[in-house]
Structures are given as C-alpha cells and as structure tokens.
C-alpha cells in the first residue's frame, strides 16, 4: 500500500490517495477541494481511482468530489448515517463563506466492519460518530485514517448539527484502544500515533 497526502483547500484538509503499487488501483479519501491536484497525481503515477471515500460529509472534505468522479467514474462511498449532513454540504459551506458544488449522491453506503479494496490493499470501516453522525475511520495494517475524529493532540468539534460529545467519547476510545504503534492520519494537521495521543491529547482525561 502506498499513501500520498495532498493538502487541499483554505481549511487545509488532508486528502489521501491510497493505492496498490502492483495493480495501481486507488482510492481517494476526503477530496475536499482542488481536485486538479488529485487528478494530476493520479496521472503522474498512472493510477486508476476506483473509489472516493468520505470520512464524513462536511463541505471541506467533499468539495472536490464532483470533478474527480466525472473524470474517473469512481464510486462515492459514505456511511448511511452521514447522508443528511452530506446533502447539506454546499449550504453548510455557504454559511461559512465558501462556495462549493454540491457533491453527487453517493453510489454506495458503507457500515462498520465493511472492507474497501484498492487492489490487494484493504481498508476496514470503523464507524466513529461524534464529530458527525456517520463519521468513519479507515483502518489497514498498522494505520488508521481518522478523518475529523482524532487529530494530533485534539479531536473534532461536536457543535455542528449531528455532533455529539458523548458519541465522540466512545469513538475516541475505539481509536485509542488500538495498538500503541498504530499510525493515525487525520483529516487536518500532522500524523501521529496512538501512543503519542495517550501522552498528549487533552481528551484522554475523558476516558
């Protein structure tokens, strides 16, 4: 499995391109803006984007979906509980002063425990509500893409519609229950590890 990180948009979202280096099938996680960067990378690596995975439906994580789907035919994957949030992405962005095209209706809904493949590489869905009702993390061997559930030293905010601090406590515990050496790739900011978050994350006291 190869992981490429592209920082996109004014809110500096980490968009991840994950692909199998042998067959060159890829998934894109949270293409929030600047889809041309993702498409340029795909062309330069000669990779085929098969799926676009949304860790959640907020506008800063979904704004680039339309262009990538149109160019590649990739399927859009979303947790079913996140659909009401996802369908408000454009209007939510407008409230914050950002103009994005409303992303297309998802092609497939995922649930906790599902596997998403990119060639021989597999990402397992972990339902982690709290920041949003259908938020998910994506786990592979020794790594987790955490979306806006866990950041280095912090957590996702819970004051948006559908957010829940009580749900986030449970989701946070799920991620910090993983082996300490697990590398966490968040939706914003630098990567971290489970061990580091036990030491530095202010939310640990909630456990």
Enumerate the domain spans of the chain.
2-206
Contact 167, 129 (CB under 8 A): yes
Residue 10 has pLDDT above 90, yes or no: yes
> Quick one: pLDDT band at residue 206, thresholds 50, 70, 90?
confident
CA distance 38 to 40: 5
**22-55 residue pLDDT tens:** 999 999 999 999 999 999 999 999 999 999 999 9
- What phi, psi does 167 have (nearest 5°)? -65, -40
What dihedral angle (degrees, nearest 10) is formed by the CA atoms of 63, 189, 146, 17? 60
Look at residue 51 in the predicted model and tell me its pLDDT. Answer: 98
Tens digits of per-residue pLDDT, 136-157? 999 999 999 999 999 999 999 9
In this prediction, residue 207 carries a pLDDT of 80
Confidence of residue 87 (pLDDT cuts 50, 70, 90): very high
Alpha-carbon span 70 to 111, nearest angstrom: 25
Query: How far, in Å, are 32, 78, 174, 204 from residue 154 at the CA level?
Result: 21, 24, 15, 9
CATH number of 2-206: 3.60.15.10
């Amino acid at each position: 499995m190869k992981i490429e990180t592209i920082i996109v948009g004014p809110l500096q979202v980490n968009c991840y391109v994950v692909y199998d280096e042998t067959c060159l099938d890829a998934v894109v996680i949270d293409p929030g803006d600047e889809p041309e960067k993702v498409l340029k990378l795909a062309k330069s690596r000669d990779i085929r984007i098969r799926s676009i995975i949304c860790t959640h439906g907020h506008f800063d994580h979904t704004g680039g979906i339309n262009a990538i789907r149109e160019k590649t035919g990739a399927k859009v994957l979303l947790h079913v509980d996140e659909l009401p949030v996802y369908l408000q992405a454009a209007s939510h962005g407008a409230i914050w002063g950002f103009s994005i095209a409303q992303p297309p209706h998802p092609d497939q809904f995922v649930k906790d425990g599902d596997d998403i493949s990119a060639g021989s590489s597999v990402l397992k869905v972990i339902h982690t509500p709290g920041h949003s009702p259908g938020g998910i993390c994506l786990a592979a061997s020794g790594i987790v893409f955490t979306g806006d559930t866990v950041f280095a030293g912090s957590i996702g905010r819970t004051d948006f519609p559908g957010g829940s601090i009580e749900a986030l406590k449970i989701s946070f515990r799920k991620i910090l229950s993983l082996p300490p050496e697990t590398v966490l790739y968040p939706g914003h900011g630098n990567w971290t590890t489970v061990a580091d978050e036990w030491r530095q994350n202010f939310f640990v006291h909630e456990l």
